[in-house]
Structure 1
Amino acid sequence: MARKDKVPRGYIPILIGRGEDKEKILVHMEHLQQPCFLELLDLAMQEFGYDQKGILHIPCTTKVFHSIIDTIRKPKS
């Protein structure tokens, strides 16, 4: 069985959203270590537990998720 989407090296696919409003995005693995991203992972653990099957699902709005990623990407001054 062939995979439809090839994930670039250093990235992880994540499904974000609730209900019908879901979006699949690729997140660089460096972002997973940021404190604000760890809070999102904790939120996912609280809702789904540690044994999610398949793609990692984070239950927050896409707007909140993109805001967090933008904050992570901004250079620190």
Structure 2
Amino acid sequence: MMKAGYVPVLVGKGGRGGAATTTRFLVRVGLLNNPCMEVLLELAADEMGYRQEGVLSIPCDAEFFRRVVTAIPSANKANLICTPNC
């Protein structure tokens, strides 16, 4: 069940076929318009295009992604949830 106000994001270099190298996060929707997140979303668009289907994928290291999100001043622990890969 999806938590209200969050969007799932697959983070990692593995792409859609490499579930072993991706980490699934739930990110508070409001963080997606932060400039730091916008850079990561542009990286995803550059590498995978704007027509991703299914779960949004961001091709960067999961720990780097976690550091970016937690460095956003308005962010707190409730804005990022790491979930088991499905």
TM-score if structure 1 supplies the norm length? 0.84
Structure 1 gap segments, 5+ residues each: 1-5
Bigger radius of gyration among the two: 1
Higher relative contact order (CA closer than 8 Å, sequence separation 6+):
2
Report the CA distance between 1:29 and its aligned residue: 0.5
- In structure 1, the residue matched to 2:48 is 48
Instruction: Name the CA distance, whole Å, in 1 between partners of 2:10 and 2:54.
Output: 10
Instruction: Tell me if 1:63 matches 2:63.
Output: yes
- In structure 2, the residue matched to 1:25 is 25
Of 7, 28, 50 in structure 2, the residue corresponding to residue 12 of structure 1 is 7
After TM superposition, where is structure 1 displaced by more than 3 Å over at least 4 residues in a row? none
TM-score if structure 2 supplies the norm length? 0.76
RMSD (Å), alpha carbons: 1.1
